Amino acid sequence: MEDKKIISIITPVYNEEKNIPIFYAELQKVVNSMDKYDFELIFVNDGSRDKSLEELRKMEKEDERVMVIDLSRNFGKEIATTAGINHCRGEACIMLDSDLQHPVEKIPEFVSKWENGAEVVIGVRKKNNGEGLVKKMGSFFFYKIINRISDTKVMSNATDYRLLDRMVINEFNKLTEKNRMTRALIDWLGFKREYIYFEARPRIHGEAGYSFWKLMRLAFNSMISLSIFPLRIAGYLGIIITIFSGVLGLFIFITNYVTESLDFSGPAILAVVILFLIGIVLICLGLIALYIANIHSEVNNRPLYVVRRSRK
């Protein structure tokens, strides 16, 4: 008999002691019903401070498919997921949250899209029950801005519930940047994508580990890593100010020497001169920023291109 394909399920865990047993029970049901595949269930404990690890160790003992990666402290979900992807052995991996917000019943659909040729399958949230207005507005603007300023298009409502083909996993593992948003990196990698729509369930136990500020930081980090536009802002501002104050200065000059009817006070003229100089300083900052942007992309050290290798 031919060996079954292995599929790795990767889930980050941070203070989910109440959710873990439920999640695992639901996951088992789904996984057991898909007997064409072997599964590897990777749980990455991201420095939980509750009893999550004990729950995971229990499962690990009873179920040989379970593998626990225990991070030494809380590194954040993005890095926890990365650890899971680095360690998985499957022909494909599926990553999803352990807080029951990503419905495990969808796993067979992810797999069938993959079998039909998709290399990345992305879960897209139809609506999010129980999310505050601030969070909704935040994500709305985040996607608006990031799609404006960056070359990598990020679909709004696209979640971390994703399947990656082995080929994509291998390319993902080559990326070395430290400040990362897993989703954005996967989007940057490209490959053939398919989407699956699902309704996110409300969180039952525990609380969302991402506070407002943690989310803001993530949003800024990913903007900075996907785009150098923020670096250019100073330069643009400088150009605008220089032009504006230059025109104003010229106007003052003309009224003074040509029509000889100066009605600008000394301080007003001084203000225009200073404004002009500030504009020039900002332009210089913008120039420096361009060099920094260059350094930034060299340091990020992403591969120049990614090649799709044909499947065996």
Sites of contact with ligand UDP (CB under 6 A)? 12-14, 16, 46, 74, 76-77, 80, 97-99, 101, 208-210
Give least dist CB 159 to ligand UDP, A: 8
101 lies in the binding site for Mg ion (CB under 5 A): yes
Residue carrying structure tokens 């009605």: 263
The smaller minimum CB distance to ligand UDP, of residues 200 and 241, is found at 200
Instruction: For residue 281, give Cα distances in angstroms to 204, 230, 267, 284, 285.
Output: 53, 17, 21, 5, 6
Listed ranges 21-29, 74-82, 99-107, 301-309: which one lies at the site for Mg ion (CB under 5 A): 99-107
19 lies in the binding site for Mg ion (CB under 5 A): no
The smaller minimum CB distance to ligand UDP, of residues 98 and 150, is found at 98
Instruction: Indicate the helix (H) or strand (E) that contains 285.
Output: helix 266-300
Strand-pair partners of 102: none
Contacted entry of ligand UDP, Mg ion, none for residue 12, CB cut-off 5 to 8 Å set by kind:
ligand UDP
Q: How many CB atoms lie within 10 A of CB 113?
A: 20
Please name which of 55, 48, 94 lies closest in space to residue 71, comparing C-alpha atoms: 48
Longest distance between any two alpha carbons in the chain, whole Å: 99
d(CA 211, CA 264): 52
Strand-pair partners of 172: none
Give least dist CB 75 to ligand UDP, A: 7
The smaller minimum CB distance to Mg ion, of residues 14 and 172, is found at 14
Give least dist CB 153 to Mg ion, A: 24
The smaller minimum CB distance to ligand UDP, of residues 99 and 187, is found at 99
Query: Contacting Mg ion (CB under 5 A), which of 46, 99, 165, 187?
Result: 99
Cβ pair 121, 113 in contact under 8 A: yes
The smaller minimum CB distance to ligand UDP, of residues 101 and 225, is found at 101
Give least dist CB 76 to ligand UDP, A: 5
Q: Three-state DSSP class for 130?
A: coil
Q: How many C-alpha atoms does 246 have within 13 Å on its Cβ side?
A: 8
Listed ranges 101-109, 170-178, 238-246, 269-277: which one lies at the site for Mg ion (CB under 5 A): 101-109
Listed ranges 54-62, 97-105, 267-275, 278-286: which one lies at the site for Mg ion (CB under 5 A): 97-105
Contacted entry of ligand UDP, Mg ion, none for residue 183, CB cut-off 5 to 8 Å set by kind:
none
Please name which of 297, 311, 119 lies closest in space to residue 225, comparing C-alpha atoms: 297
Residues that bind Mg ion (CB under 5 A): 99, 101
